[in-house]
Amino acid sequence: MQTEFVISSGEQPKRLDVFLVHREPKLSRAALQRMIAAGWVRVNNHLAKSSQRIKAGDVIVFDAPQPAPLRIDGVTKQLEILFEDQACLVLNKTAGIVVHPSPGHWSNTLLNALLDHCARGDGTATPGVVHRLDKDTSGVMVVAKTEEAHRTLSMQFERHAITRHYEALVVGVPAELTGRIDAALGPDRQNPKRTSIQTFSPKPAVTEYRVEEVFGAAAARVVLSPHTGRTHQIRAHLHTIGHPILGDRTYGGERVGAIAGDEIPRVMLHARTLGFTHPVTGVYGEWTVAAPPDFEAVRQALSGGRQFVPLGGERLERKA
């Protein structure tokens, strides 16, 4: 697919790769640099370098690579299926697995494994991702197996008729033990790969939260219910109120911390409960799964009195 950009007179001179990363937020700067080096980007009909500075009047032609065909890729993943019938399946996603193929990661994803799973069944189902969890997020997901189920489930998500509860381990303890974060979100002005309230394209976003467990002044376990489905909504909202998720370097930076010298292994976010109306039978169902061992190990470390040490900040002592 070919995309053309004509640089307007109001555009400030900048590197070509910097310009493109703001226009193609789904691609990383490193991925764009590889594409430029491979000759997929031309400026004024000439091959370019990442460092080339664009100026008013330049015409940039970007030949975006086409997605590789979705296929069984020979890497079989163990899927923890909680429910399955002819219309849909509910599973417990393991942290560390990318849900959907994307540039630079066309294979070895959850959707590849689902295709494998369905092919080993009657072979007629086509799995469709209705919603996504970030790579580092564990927990409950629903996947449609027919176009009609996908359409019906997607409509429930759009109408916010889905029950969703997440739990997270966060830095510090919110002043209010229950609350509602109502802050519009969109791609961050400075870094479009992040979601932020500092955005040129704000969209309504609401998350309710409840503190379930505190670990002195150092950290807390929080249950969250998003009423909208913005990218990185929970992570961005918690960052907005000053309580980023432990292990989340994207939003917490050096504050994400370590436990007694051991760095926290991932973003401590778990999709605990998912409920929806079955797309065919109309019966409401709800599934809840406990947080995985790595999440529980961090929680137990905090609960057992081990110190939480922000990597770039002041040591916080746990109160007895």
| Active site members | 134
CA of 137: how far to CAs of 36, 115, 145, 164, 271, in Å? 32, 21, 23, 14, 7
Q: Helix, strand or coil for residue 107?
A: coil
Task: Report residue 254 as tokens.
Answer: 């050096």
Other beta carbons within 10 angstroms of residue 161's beta carbon come to 13
Contacts made by residues 190-198, CB under 8 angstroms, sequence distance 24+? 192/21, 192/22, 192/25, 193/25, 193/28, 194/232, 194/236, 194/250, 194/251, 195/230, 195/231, 195/232, 195/233, 195/235, 195/236, 196/236, 197/236, 197/240
For residue 59, the Cα-to-chain-centroid distance in whole angstroms is 33
Question: For residue 127, which of 139, 137, 116, 138 has the smallest C-alpha distance?
Answer: 116
